[in-house]
Structure 1
Amino acid sequence: MSIRFDDRVAIVTGAGGGLGRAYALGLARRGAKVVVNDLGGARDGTGRSDAAAKVVAEIREAGGEAMANGGSVTDFDQMEQMVAAAKEKWGGVHILINNAGVLRDKSFAKMDPEDFRFVVDVHLNGSANVTKAVWETMREQNYGRILMTASSTGLFGNFGQANYGAAKLGLAGLARTLHLEGAKYGIRVNTLAPVAGTRMTEDIFPEAAFDLFTPESVAPAALYLVSEDAPGNAIVGAGAGVFQTAYVTLTPGVRLQGEELGPEGVAAHWAEIADRRGEIVPQSGGEQAQTIFAKLQNI
């Protein structure tokens, strides 16, 4: 089975380098027309460059079709204009990979509130802006593939990245809700947690590891998750050619009543409450309430 994107229009944000560039080139090689979005800023979000135009030139030199866009994902009007330009040129937008991001790492004690707000704004609000800009088009087409970029920091935590972690776990939650809202319109939404050696991580990775964790070793997961036969509601980890899935689970739990219904009762039953035997992977938030109702009916 060959995965192709002929007659599909894709937007990739943060595509001027690293992972985004690998995604854009991969989509174009497989037939997609690609909007390469990148503000061209530094890792902390400052400044501008012509990074997007350089990737577009690469795509065109290889015989593909692409256009550059230098809009900021934090500006909803600019994202609407980007989508309108893609529709005017190519007739629609079928794929969105939300990849744009910045880093402003510090321990929470030393982090300026503006650095917290800015990182959340770019990653979480920025992804929401671009997704909102394509949402009605995808609903009208009865087809869409959207990929959010989370992180192991968001899923599991990482010292010095409170802002980044908050944004990235927020993106996983956004994806799960949009999966439910978009399903009847043929829109599938997934989340990717990549581990790659890029400009964002070049001073974090050891040199030997940096060479193994190439953007190209992550791209296969991204392209599969925006393909026609993609799953929905998945959280996928990818790095150095290793692919994983992550899950949010819920234990069966314990019902406390009477004198036990207090913090002392929670403490006394903590081992049973946290026992993972019989845990489930809820497909929506409503399933938590359903499991509670089931407990009430069984007593």
Structure 2
Amino acid sequence: MQAQQSFGNHTDGVLYLVPTPIGNLQDMTFRAVQTLKDVDLIAAEDTRNTQKLLNHFEIETKQISFHEHNTNERIPQLIEKLQAGLSIAQVSDAGMPSISDPGQELVAQCVTQQIAVVPLPGANAGLTGLIASGLISQPFYFYGFLGRKDGQQEEELQQLMARPETLIFYEAPHRLKKTLTNMVAIFGEERQTVLARELTKKHEEFLRGSLGELLAWATTENVRGEFVILLAGNTNPDKQIDENQTPINQQIGRLIKDGLAPNVAIKQVAKQRNLNRQEVYKNYHQL
């Protein structure tokens, strides 16, 4: 067992986790500004981006880069500085550190080394979108970004299909259509969905409707802005269609009708049923 007193006297330095605005700079808290002024060093995901924030609030604290590509190199350096008594604030480009952003590995190492970790509350896109979505706000299941590799996203969505909680995802504009297409294929067209776009910014917008309606919108629009995707939970998780009882070609045909390319549908069904993809391909095309 390990106990941490966040505001006691510490032999080592302290790691502060400082959320930054997700768009509107006025969402920066007084405590966050003061913490960034008081610490010895700021570990930033993108020092150029964070410098704009520091300039706005007249913060002169020195920065060091800390992002997903230099984690292994940087963590020992930061731990050494903390053990020497320096205080460090860790920030991501927007929102809360460790939530779909760098941070968790550094926190874990601090906990292992018994270095105090002090979190500050602040902006979070997922919860901001959730409370205005009109969907059930709790329980919810935060997932963040889905996988990028072929087939990975479909597999992840399959695992989430029966969850009864409101689901929360993040997505970039250039991937929105593909992600919604996969969601329609897995969840069906009728699942109630909300797209929260550009939260806290000038062009903040909420698009509410069925998955099918929102996919149709994304297909015809020039999609811009960062998105939070919120899906209503499955109200009948115990009544899922047992796909393994459906004829293979019928299952593939349904996925194609829902928008998947034939080869993607074949690959998905083969993987789901643990079958040889080439055999499923030959069977479907009657080769």
Larger Rg: 2
Q: Given the two structures, how large is their TM-score scaled by the length of structure 1?
A: 0.32
Q: Given the two structures, how large is their TM-score scaled by the length of structure 2?
A: 0.33
